[in-house]
Structure 1
């Protein structure tokens, strides 16, 4: 029985509500198959455009050209079946297609020229503005390093904006990246600084423009601004779509050039999937070029620094530099053969000639002198109190302004904490950290050790979110000591230990973090974990029950944390068992969302180990749980993994059932 237009549109709209990824893509593919088999024809444009978008933003841009071609052909045959939204999406997709075709060296130049000419013709016939066409002509010229690139850029920026122009958040970043490439650094910096005051946001911004701006500041010698912009850019990366390979690579380059080889290597290890793949060959090459710049700097000073990679046959910086150069050269040669120039190979060569900045960037959120002073006091046998120092110039806030530090004019601990909290709420954790340190010092001077520990944990969190894991780890460890010494509630201490685990793992200290987690579990199992309440106290039974529930939940959280640490240590079997135990504990206590996350972790671990049945069981539980709490994004992400596991096991019918479930 054929679907009605209303029901088809409703199901396709549900696909568009899913996060980008395998689940959304396969659901979109299913909708196209259904329209082809059952109709209605009125929904075909909507289904095809939804699939094009799923491919483009789901990391499979090479697959988008086929449904796009079908969409154009359908427009030629039945333009009457396109509503205004369908029409707009069709012409908007031309921009994706031209830009994406240039990113695959196997696509002949003649095909790109034809597609661009067809775009220009169709835009003219439809009466659309020509800004998007001018942009794509510039993109194609720039990718080849053609002699008319500068003229194409000027033609683009001079063409009036229209309904099909690049989004207002993206355009300044695209313009600035070219200006930096062309040596017009000051002009590009002014453009981005002006744009950022307007708080632009979209799928990739402001993360992408910030990644360009940090390097431009480095070139100008504005080290404090480079450090602040680096922090701000990292914070926005988590909210961006696509692989963001260029932005991630630029952050690696800044870290290496700024004297932070340890952080650069950690970031390469975390994003190592981009060394061997990305949304496109051009995306991968862009990442390799910026990582190559970083490796050129690191190889000059520490060629033997270890790197921990599973996707690349390299164990040191020098080996990784050689491997990356060979890969980049091969990709560049392929692009240059297609383009008929030597532009891309020259870009690679320049990257491997990169040198370090004149002096290191200060990226510490918790200054080194604070940690060193504390350690010195401890070694002298004195009380290891928190020492507050002036924040370094590199610890500027996200707006590029100087960090505000606590001073003698701050009246009391409560006021300092309130000011720090307001700064965090305003998105300025770099400025909040010194205030939390000041509050911790004042509380400790007053003998309020638990309060000092709590304030220090807040400072640690500020450092952690800004990638200062050394500072965060010191502050978390010190906070834990103060909390225990001050007789703090074991639940608070456990929460701090769990939060510390991320920084400890990033620093290669997962073993120590795991030992602290186990200690917290022991503490919660003892008499301090669930203190008794006298029976004659009003509401005693309810208080005891509430405390028991809080302890049970924290123990489940600690088990979940332990599972993640065990996975970091490569003890996957133990990790999967621990995650399953945490999931059951969360579920028994009615914490469905937490249980779903734990089942998800267990499912991933079982899938990696090849234990298909166990993986499917855990992932199905996670999908069901996220569905119960109406968490569409996480439900779709787990469903994508479940579909992949089932297809790899040859269980196609079950995989199709999961795909159908997402939209029915």
Structure 2
């Protein structure tokens, strides 16, 4: 039976609520097929708009050009069936086509020029503003390295903004990027700082502009400012949307020039996927250029530094540099051939010529005194020295106002001054320990660790987490309350190679959680209290298994993957036993991905199906769709297309 327009629009709107990914794109494709086969025709423009949007932001820009042309043709043929919202989306999507198709060297320049000319013609006929067209012309000229890029830039910045302009944060970010690229560092710095002062954010900002700013400050000799900006950039990257290949590449360049060998290698390992399968060829080239520059700055002194990669054929820094250059050269040449310039080849040459700073940068968030690590039996070893006294540069509390060190730290966190907050928390921890308040000292150290973690300093974070857990256990803190600190520690421990110490500390807490605890009062209230305590311990045990599984999964290797899968399954079962449906679904999702990685398709389907169903019970539609990405991909890969279609259909009901 043919759907009504309301029914079709309702299903399409549900797809738009889904996160970008395979499930959303395939669900959108399914809707286009249904509308084309069964109608209603009034829903066709909306269906094509949803599909174009899904493909563009789901990493399939090249494929999006076909439904985009179908949308434009439909608008030309049946304008009465295209409402104002779809008309707006169609004109907006011209910007995506021009902006993103340039990221593929196989797309001819003539095609992009023609699309841009058609965009300008259509905008003029529709009486729309010219800012989007002016920006598109500048962005295309900048991508190509054209001789007229400065002229295009000046034309763009002189054009008034309108309803089709890019967001008000991206706009100054792109202007600053051009200023930095053309050597106008001080002007670019002023523009970025003015924009940051507004506090405005978007999907990619301020992470992108902060990564530019840090390098500009470094080139201007503003070392301390560059370090602070770098930390802000790393923190902002965690909240950004998309691959952010350019910003991540600039982070690598700063780390390499700073002489931070271990941090550089770790960052490359974490972003390895971008080196082999960037969402677009240009994003992959950006990532490769970052690695080339970062490794060039560390050679030849650190040529033998080990790297742990699973997809790039390199085991040392020197091998990685050579491989990245070899991969970047043909890509750069392909872009230059299409663009008719030598811009990318020149950029590669500049990356290969990158040199380190005369003096390395100190990137540690907290200045740690030279004390040895402090441990408690079963707490594991610290990854580095941890403070046992108030650092001399730690800001004291305000005696006049009565503000304590802890109050100061929490105020600084609220004000977004994370680095200063870390110092204050360390000082508060030392103050509490001096007073014999070990539990308070442990919690303050954990807060300092979290601040360091947010700023990308996993080395300091893992040492402080180890210090915090030792204090908490020595002070006989409730083991249920220790678990959140252990959970927060896990990713930092995995990133810094301290996972064995972490697992030792985490597993040392298990026996205490597995005991029955104190005898509760008698009667119904006592029974209820006993059940609540038992559920809390069960949930805490599940948290430990889940955190350990995720940490183990990041390291790879068959044995670690198998142990991670075992712990994830155990966590899912424990979460389900206490009614934590959402947590159980997350653990099942992890278990499914791990079984898939080991080639156990049947087990993977079982756990991924449980995850999708679990997120449905938890009414978490967005995460349900993300888990469905993995399930649909697996079902397609194993020839179970009918089941995949059933999953996609269920997502829009």
Where on the TM-score scale, by shorter chain, does this alignment land: which range? over 0.9
The yes-or-no answer on 1:564 pairing with 2:554 is no
Partner residue in 2 for 1:398: none
Partner residue in 2 for 1:23: 23
Partner residue in 1 for 2:430: 441
The structure 2 residue matched to 1:593, chosen from 582, 599, 608, is 582
Partner residue in 1 for 2:396: 406
Partner residue in 2 for 1:373: 371
Gaps of 5+ in 1: 379-383, 392-403
The structure 2 residue matched to 1:624, chosen from 609, 613, 619, is 613
Partner residue in 2 for 1:576: 565
1:377 CA displacement: 12
Would the aligned equivalents of 2:397 and 2:408 in 1 still touch at CA under 8 Å? no
The yes-or-no answer on 1:361 pairing with 2:351 is no
SS in 1 for 2:356: coil
Provide, for residues 309-336 of structure 1, a one-character-per-residue CA deviation record: whole Å limited to 9, x for no partner.
1111111111111111111111011011
The yes-or-no answer on 1:603 pairing with 2:592 is yes
C-alpha distance in 1 between matches for 2:178 and 2:392: 38
C-alpha distance in 1 between matches for 2:55 and 2:204: 16
Q: Report 1:102-501 matches (<5 A).
A: 102-369=102-369, 372-375=370-373, 386-391=388-393, 405-407=395-397, 409=399, 415-501=404-490
1:542 CA displacement: 3.1
Partner residue in 2 for 1:612: 601
509 and 385 in structure 1: CA distance in 2 versus 1, 3 angstrom threshold = closer
Would the aligned equivalents of 1:258 and 1:360 in 2 still touch at CA under 8 Å? yes
C-alpha distance in 1 between matches for 2:32 and 2:94: 20
1:434 CA displacement: 1.5
1:579 CA displacement: 1.1
Would the aligned equivalents of 1:218 and 1:357 in 2 still touch at CA under 8 Å? no
Provide, for residues 337-380 of structure 1, a one-character-per-residue CA deviation record: whole Å limited to 9, x for no partner.
111221210111011111112332222122132xx2355999xx
SS in 1 for 2:399: coil
Partner residue in 1 for 2:529: 543
C-alpha distance in 2 between matches for 1:48 and 1:609: 37
With 90-99 and 497-506 compared, the bigger mean Cα shift is at: 497-506
Would the aligned equivalents of 1:242 and 1:279 in 2 still touch at CA under 8 Å? no
The yes-or-no answer on 1:519 pairing with 2:508 is yes
C-alpha distance in 1 between matches for 2:529 and 2:159: 69
385 and 99 in structure 1: CA distance in 2 versus 1, 3 angstrom threshold = closer
SS in 2 for 1:92: helix
1:272 CA displacement: 0.5
420 and 4 in structure 1: CA distance in 2 versus 1, 3 angstrom threshold = same
Q: Normalising to structure 1: TM-score of the pair?
A: 0.93
C-alpha distance in 1 between matches for 2:400 and 2:534: 40
Gaps of 5+ in 2: 377-385
471 and 9 in structure 1: CA distance in 2 versus 1, 3 angstrom threshold = same
C-alpha distance in 1 between matches for 2:357 and 2:80: 60
Provide, for residues 559-583 of structure 1, a one-character-per-residue CA deviation record: whole Å limited to 9, x for no partner.
2223234433632222212211110
Partner residue in 1 for 2:380: none
1:431 CA displacement: 1.6
SS in 2 for 1:610: coil
SS in 2 for 1:636: helix
CA RMSD of aligned residues (A): 2.0
C-alpha distance in 2 between matches for 1:564 and 1:280: 28
293 and 410 in structure 1: CA distance in 2 versus 1, 3 angstrom threshold = farther
Would the aligned equivalents of 2:397 and 2:404 in 1 still touch at CA under 8 Å? no
SS in 2 for 1:308: coil
Would the aligned equivalents of 2:387 and 2:426 in 1 still touch at CA under 8 Å? no
C-alpha distance in 2 between matches for 1:114 and 1:645: 39
The yes-or-no answer on 1:531 pairing with 2:529 is no
Partner residue in 1 for 2:71: 71
1:81 CA displacement: 1.4
C-alpha distance in 2 between matches for 1:103 and 1:485: 56
C-alpha distance in 2 between matches for 1:255 and 1:606: 35
Would the aligned equivalents of 1:410 and 1:416 in 2 still touch at CA under 8 Å? no
C-alpha distance in 1 between matches for 2:489 and 2:311: 28
1:411 CA displacement: 8.2
101 and 308 in structure 1: CA distance in 2 versus 1, 3 angstrom threshold = same
C-alpha distance in 1 between matches for 2:626 and 2:276: 22
Partner residue in 2 for 1:634: 623
1:535 CA displacement: 4.1
Partner residue in 1 for 2:92: 92
604 and 376 in structure 1: CA distance in 2 versus 1, 3 angstrom threshold = closer
